[in-house]
Structure 1
């Protein structure tokens, strides 16, 4: 685990698994933080970007962006300002490649049409609301991000230095050992930016990076972004209403109003352009406030004329400035920006880990969260043990009593119901979809690595809970103590537990928590009617019998019945002269069982689990696709 020593907050004991032995200068060169590392210069230009969304099918159309044209310069910090609903966030998502459907217009990188997949390896996008895992400390969050995103050669010193440098630059040194859910809003915001700064991206897009920060923290953050820009990073911030001091620290300004670009260029020229359109800014007035007052029609003037002048001025300045930038780009560091290799010069520190390497790091992170979330873990285990003891008390020694067969069968059916619902309902919240989408879209890891680790790390707890529940209830209810029957009963219990959790994951991934919690009982209870307990299989109408074949409860219940009463079980104890349920064969015949062999039942339940996981994986793929839409 990534636990820290209280006497030395810079000591990360969990990373002692990695080797030491690299020079400090090599670490600095590798990180590119202390020594200024020159990135590939990426000049972004977009022309006539338009984006619309449809409500109620295609009946109502809402236009978000209207023929937006502009550019983002390498080595400069650009601020995008505008009122709420102007399209700032949408523009950032389109530039980043997260949103690409229903988008018209062109985006070029250094004069070459953008390759979305390749470009995403060179950029990072920090949304306004960045979900952090609540049970990781600041240090652990930064460290694991570094392990996932950088080629640090399995060295502890590199990871430790990255954490300290990022924390110091963002003012997080005093809260390195604080859990994310204990951080203030401003600290969470800075941490979310810090995890994406680790890779030193060539393009850094931030949505409302200063929201929740005080003036001192905001200025410190802007200074950090300026340092990044000096190393040829293209830094873009969308800010709702920056202060005078903050606006003075930006190089370029882009103004959006109702999806239109009302200015794009150097900060020093914006007042002259607006003045030429009849809008004069008072002396010592906040430029951002003045611009927002103009475009929100709080100042008298012709906005359409301003829009035309801004477009005209942009076209005049674009040709000269872009030609100069293009000449400079063509002469630096032998960079030939051809169509096939515009974005191939990825930062030397950034790497693509194999699935196995990603799984190891994500497994470490999952173990930390499981250990910290001890309350939920203990509640799960305690609930299984408590209900097992309750079952044992209520159905004490019913298992071998011929007079109590019906009650024992009810006990077996209740056992399956508890295992299914006790594991399906909590699993609705098992996948933090927002955090996963943010990290995946910023190239932290693959869906395959994340999904496999998420499932496998919870598997031991599932087996432990199901086993403790089954063994306690099996012994106390007086079932036949034969090893093969115990093993068969245990296998059915584990499979129905895993199946229940998978159903919960599916509903939680496809829907929100409220809908998922409703759908699990709403969809599962009808399947219980065809399980063979309330209604025998042979008594079901012919046109409804196919429904019994798709009920996994039927196979789980029949498998449990066969494990308890099948396989030539000796006659049950009966205190009376004659008992109809004295023979186990008579019990199975009464229940119209068996219909399939026990081992076929295991395969059917296994196929159900596999198919549901395939559906969940497909849903997550669709979530990724929809997030980019």
Structure 2
């Protein structure tokens, strides 16, 4: 691990900012900046310069109105984002800024043309993702983990396994102190404010101190105070030598002038790329002057949207293509070389009456205290071939991560298990429902299991057991992957873990509950309904109930992995209808038309029901009780062979049903993993 800096950053709280504002307009910018600087603490090591460059970048998608047509989102744009600078990608809606961000971050890898370079060589996407992070607009966090628990999970997954646990805890403590979250480390993510959630999202990716960071709308949903804190943090991260790139929709003048570099897009083409301080002078030289007291960000957005005329938009685009913008910026750099070395900036006359804020005020805070800081080798980001998108389209091998497969599984298993235990709806409600329904069925069918006159009522009881366990296992699990898909994609994209480890941990953590609940339910029903007092039959009964629950859970996971949340909720119960219709309870096999009989073999409920009937009435069970005379028609079902023949399961074998259910379980689980892998790939 790299040596830590002796200088610390502290994010100012709302009261601190209000105190600065309350001093009135007479307070100079230098004075307020100094007061702000005195509150900053920072202990992240300075990173090696790793500039990102892209040339003639094109991106297109299928046009919904034309089957074979394609719509160009990015139209051959180029640019360079330097380390040590806070870069803003701006543009009107539909300009292509999110697409550009996704492509540069490696989130989007298909239908792309052009070159993406790091240090002048073609980017190696796998290594690039390993040392970069992408923090998305929505703060998708696991709600039932505390700040400290979430951070330790991140540290244990992203930091090297050989690193002592005490060092990881110190790293986490330093980052929480840096981002002003140390007082909330015991608070669950669901109870954090918007600004705290945003800072936690950043903190989770800071544990391995990535030199390249992407932020999609970092100020979205935050108030002005939280926005200032967030951009101040990004400014200081950039000042440490990192590449900080973020899309931003419409910042205030104060926030806008904190950015070092602006990349302005409109309709997939570049309108302006250069320093924020040079933007207004450049627009003025093109005949577009910012009106007095206007927000520069609002003005340039109006220009990009064509409010000042489409001819001006085309003029600015052509200026970029012809190189006039580069010439202007080069001249401005020469003319302002003396001023650029000064870290504080006063209000410039060339910027008119627009509000000014020092764009470099915090760079002086970060100085390396030890020259032995470890850097990521620049060659790790480069390859002599093309961008290896195909290699990372799906999953990666575990050895490419900082932790082994077993360590990833262990950490993710514990994290998922804790979340399940703390989720009152998912755990307590499931337990209560199994207890309540079990007792209700037991009371309804009380003592009928050994009565010959109530054989079909008992068969209905056994079938309802299958029905209840199928839906109680299926419906909650169809939501598992849709609810966490965004978290999974973000963490996998940022190189936390492999999909194999995530899938195994996610499915295995819920399996104990999916076994215990059917056992509780089955035990209540079995003894209250007076089924055979035979321990082996009892075990066989519980085994098939548990298998039914696990297979239904596997089907729910498969549906959830393959579809969206809305589709999964609808498709879950719908898939159960044909399974129940062809289960053998409502219609015998011989009654089903020949061309539909194959569906019976696809219904795992039919095997479960068949096996349960064998467990209860098979294996030479002794005669059932009958209150009337043995010759009475009501007592014709005293012999178990007659019951099995009447229910059309006399030729069934219990071990065959058991094996088939095991095959269903394995096939569905394996299929679910490949569907999940395809889903992650499809999103990219």
Q: TM-score higher than 0.5 here?
A: yes
Q: State the partner residue of 1:613.
A: 669
Corresponding position of 1:145: 154
Rate the CA distance shift 1:428–1:36 in 2: closer, same or farther, 3 A. closer
Q: Is the 8 A contact 1:77 1:236 kept in 2?
A: yes
Q: How many residues align?
A: 589
Match of 1:112 among 107, 113, 121: 121
Q: 1:26/1:316 Cα in 2 relative to 1: closer, same or farther (>3 Å)?
A: closer
The answer for the alignment partner of 1:449 in structure 2 is: 501
Cα distance in 2 for residues equivalent to 1:460 and 1:295: 57
C-alpha change, 1:595 and 1:106, in structure 2 (3 Å) is: farther
1:430 aligns with 2:438: no
Which residue does the alignment assign to 1:244? 253
Q: Please say if 1:76 is aligned against 2:82.
A: no
Give me the whole-angstrom Cα distance separating, in 2, the residues matched to 1:351 and 1:221.
29
1:370-396 Cα offsets, whole Å, 9 max, x none, are: 222134312111111111111111111
CA contact (8 A) 1:81 1:88 kept: yes
Q: Which residue of 2 aligns with 1:627?
A: 683
Q: Residue 417 of structure 2 aligns with which residue? A: 367
Q: Is the contact between residue 66 and residue 260 of structure 1 (CA under 8 Å) also seen in structure 2?
A: yes
Aligned with 1:51 (options 59, 62, 66) = 59
Q: CA RMSD in A?
A: 2.9
Aligned-partner SS, 1:178: coil
Contact conserved, 2:132 with 2:212, CA < 8 A, in 1?
A: yes
Cα offset, 1:557, TM superposition:
0.8
Tell me: CA distance 1:527–1:376, structure 2 relative to 1, closer, same or farther (3 Å): closer
Distance 1:213 1:226 in 2: 17
- Greater mean alpha carbon deviation, residues 222-231 or residues 407-416: 222-231
Q: Please state how far the C-alpha of 1:197 moved relative to its aligned partner.
A: 2.1
- Work out whether residues 109 and 342 of structure 1, in 8 Å CA contact, stay in contact via their aligned partners in 2: no
Partners of 2:240 and 2:173 in 1: how far apart? 20
What's the offset of the Cα at 1:572?
1.1
Cα contact 2:426–2:476 (8 A) shared by 1 = no
Gaps of 5+ in 2: 10-40, 333-374, 388-399
Which runs of structure 2 are paired with 1:268-347 in the superposition (5 Å)? 268-282=277-291, 285-299=294-308, 302-311=312-321, 312-313=323-324, 339=383
- Secondary structure of residue in 1 paired with 2:156: helix
| 2:413 aligned with 1:402 | no
What secondary structure does 2:215 align onto?
strand
How far did 1:155 drift?
Answer: 3.7
Please state how far the C-alpha of 1:103 moved relative to its aligned partner: 1.5
- Is 2:143 the counterpart of 1:91? no
- The CA deviation at 1:555 is 0.7
Change over 3 Å in CA distance of 1:436–1:474 after alignment to 2:
same
Cα–Cα, structure 1 residues 108 and 279, in superposed 2: closer, same or farther, change >3 Å? Answer: same
Provide, for residues 200-225 of structure 1, a one-character-per-residue CA deviation record: whole Å limited to 9, x for no partner. Answer: 11211111112233444333333332
1:466 aligns with 2:518: yes
Question: 1:430 & 1:36 partners in 2: Cα distance?
Answer: 36
TM-score by length of 1: 0.87
Deviation at 1:51, TM superposition (A): 1.7
In the alignment, structure 1 residue 507 sits paired with structure 2 residue 563 = no
Q: How far 1:334 moved relative to its partner?
A: 9.0
Q: Deviations over 1:409-459 (max 9, x none)?
A: 111111111110111111121222121111111111111111111111111
Residue range with higher mean Cα deviation, 46-55 or 207-216: 207-216
Identify if the C-alpha distance between structure 1 residues 564 and 247 changes in structure 2 by more than 3 Å, giving closer, same or farther: same
- Aligned partners of 1:26, 1:495: CA distance in 2, in Å? 53
Assess, with a 3 A threshold, how the Cα gap between structure 1 residues 255 and 25 changes in structure 2: closer, same or farther: closer
Partner of 2:653: 597
Deviation at 1:266, TM superposition (A): 2.1
Cα contact 2:133–2:205 (8 A) shared by 1: yes
Deviation at 1:127, TM superposition (A): 1.1
- Which structure 1 residue ranges, 5 or more long, are not aligned? 1-23, 322-331, 344-349
- Aligned-pair distance for 1:351? 5.6
Question: CA 1:439/1:471 → structure 2, altered by over 3 Å: closer, same or farther?
Answer: same
- Measured in 2, the distance between the counterparts of 1:335 and 1:49 equals 23
Q: Distance in 2 between matches of 1:611 and 1:494?
A: 17
* C-alpha deviation, 1:244, in angstroms: 2.0
Out of 287-296 and 435-444, give the one that drifted further: 287-296
Say if 1:450 and 1:281 are closer, same or farther in 2 by CA, change over 3 A.
Answer: same
The one of 351, 364, 377 equivalent to 2:427 is 377
- 2:436 aligned partner: 386
Partner Cα distance (1:626, 1:503) in 2: 21
Judged with a 3 Å threshold, the aligned counterparts in structure 2 of structure 1 residues 428 and 158 are, in CA distance, closer, same or farther, namely same
Change over 3 Å in CA distance of 1:626–1:250 after alignment to 2: same
In 2, are the aligned partners of 1:170 and 1:220 still within 8 Å (CA)?
no
Could you tell me how far apart the structure 2 residues matched to 1:258 and 1:144 are?
41
2:639 aligned with 1:583? yes
Structure 1 residues 405 and 365: CA distance shift in structure 2, 3 A = same
How far 1:353 moved relative to its partner?
A: 0.8
**In the TM superposition, what is the alpha-carbon distance from 1:606 to its structure 2 partner?**
0.8
Q: How far apart are residue 401 of structure 1 and its match? A: 0.9
Three-state SS of the structure 1 residue aligned to 2:435 is helix
Q: Write the deviation string for residues 502-549 of structure 1: whole angstroms up to 9, x where unpaired.
A: 122222222233322322232221222222111222333333222222
